[in-house]
């Protein structure tokens, strides 16, 4: 998205570790670790994809638990952050936190997809780990799933706000405007990336686990085409206070990312939806 935003258990009480190295061994180890997790599945699973979020990760996880209570698991999918984000999560010593440390594998969409595979909640959500997307929104978003299949936090729905630099807001609005025209569905914030949904959605639609943020546009479009109910809930999006943006570290990367969005919007429109 153009907004800013990724061995056996150490103890029976601490977060679990996973690795994407040596796929066959990993799958067997994952099955063993899953058997050690709490027997009763939580109602809610929230996935955080992290890469160098040392300053923000504990704040984000703590805020999620503060607003959702104990009946939730937080799945942190970390792409082997050089700043040691994964180690900080590992040392939290909280059975509600599951750590998946991916080695030699990177990518936002694939990280969220891995978290979805490992999740167990009746309701599944994902969001940035940089505190730009407020965890205070989560209870109301989950409540809306009583009448909708999907709820997205929206910067551009009436009442929402995108409080970043003028250039970034203009570019984001242009991309979302194009997506709204080409893909339809009445969705105003197609690349939100802040979502909760019913697990049953995955019986009909899966994400395409490649790229940075355009995967979310493709996912929402497929959900719309399948007749799923999508609700936009406005919120105030603020630029990150700590850490460095991964989506646009320089103007070249910003333009390349934008071009990629345009390409995937057009491709999504032409792709057959099974």
User: What total of structural domains would you count in the chain?
Assistant: 1
Residue 96 in domain:
yes
What are the two backbone dihedrals, phi and then psi, of residue 254, each rounded to the nearest 5 degrees?
A: -60, -45
Distance CA 222, CA 204 (A): 9
* Domain of residue 125, residue span: 23-270
Output the pTM of the full model: 0.82
How many CB atoms lie under 10 A from the CB of residue 269?
A: 14
Does residue 7 have a pLDDT over 60?
A: no
Task: Answer whether residue 5 is part of any domain.
Answer: no
User: Is beta strand 236-238 parallel, antiparallel or unpaired with respect to 161-163?
Assistant: parallel
Write down the mean pLDDT value for the chain: 85
Is residue 169, in this structure, part of any structural domain at all? yes
* 145-173 residues labelled b (16+ CB within 10 A) or e (exposed): beebbbbbbbbbbeebebebeeebbebbb
Please tell me what DSSP assigns to residue 146: G
| Residue count of the chain | 274
Percent of the chain whose pLDDT exceeds 90: 68
How many alpha carbons lie under 13 Å from residue 23 in its C-beta half-sphere? 1
Residue 194 pLDDT exceeds 80: yes
Q: What is the CATH number of the domain that holds 204?
A: 3.90.550.10
250 is a domain residue:
yes
Whether 66 is covered by a domain: the verdict is yes
In a domain, 17, yes or no: no
Residue listed under structure tokens 């799958």:
27
């Amino acid at each position: 998205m153009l907004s800013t935003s990724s061995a056996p258990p150490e103890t029976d009480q601490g977060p679990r570790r996973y690795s994407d190295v040596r796929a066959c061994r990993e799958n067997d180890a994952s099955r063993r670790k899953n058997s050690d997790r709490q027997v009763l599945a939580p109602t809610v699973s929230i996935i955080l994809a992290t890469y160098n979020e040392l300053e923000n990760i504990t704040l984000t996880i703590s805020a999620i638990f503060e607003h959702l209570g104990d009946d939730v698991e937080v799945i942190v999918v970390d792409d082997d952050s050089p700043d040691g984000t994964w180690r900080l999560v590992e040392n939290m010593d909280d059975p509600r936190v599951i750590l998946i440390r991916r080695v030699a594998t990177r990518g936002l969409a694939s990280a969220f997809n891995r978290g979805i595979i490992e999740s167990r909640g009746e309701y599944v959500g994902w969001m940035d780990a940089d505190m730009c997307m407020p965890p205070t929104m989560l209870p109301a978003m989950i409540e809306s799933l009583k009448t909708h299949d999907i709820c997205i936090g929206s910067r551009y729905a009436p009442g929402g706000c995108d409080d970043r630099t003028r250039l970034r807001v203009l570019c984001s609005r242009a991309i979302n405007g194009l997506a709204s025209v080409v893909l339809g569905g009445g969705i105003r914030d197609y690349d939100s990336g802040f979502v909760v949904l019913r697990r049953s959605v995955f019986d009909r639609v899966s994400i395409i686990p490649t790229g940075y943020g355009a995967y979310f546009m493709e996912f929402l479009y497929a959900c719309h085409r399948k007749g799923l109910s999508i609700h936009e809930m406005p919120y105030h999006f603020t630029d990150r206070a700590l850490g460095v943006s991964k989506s646009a570290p320089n103007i070249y990367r910003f333009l390349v990312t934008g071009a990629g969005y345009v390409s995937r919007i057009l491709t999504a429109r032409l792709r057959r939806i099974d």
